[in-house]
Amino acid sequence: MRITYRSENSKSGTPIIATGLRQLSLRGYGNRRYGVTAIVATGLRQSS
């Protein structure tokens, strides 16, 4: 999964994470804990 929103970083940071969380919860409860951590870590890394 590749997320590209460099040009609108401050705008899209939170919505991207929210979308990721929604997709993960639809995908399955088993992967959720790890997936959430990965999504948030990726978002933070790209934001800073």
pLDDT score, position 6:
53
pLDDT score, position 19: 77
d(CA 40, CA 43): 5
Averages of pLDDT over runs of 10 residues in the chain (48 residues) are: 54 69 65 69 76
Query: What is the residue type of 44?
Result: L
For residue 25, tell me if it sits in a domain: yes
Whole domain around residue 30: which residue ranges? 9-47
Number of domains making up the chain = 1
Q: Is residue 1 part of a domain?
A: no
Model pLDDT, residue 1: 56
Residues with Cβ < 8 Å from 22, sequence gap 6 or more?
A: none
40 falls within a domain: yes
DSSP SS3 for 30:
coil
Domain membership flag for residue 19 = yes
Q: Is residue 23 part of a domain?
A: yes
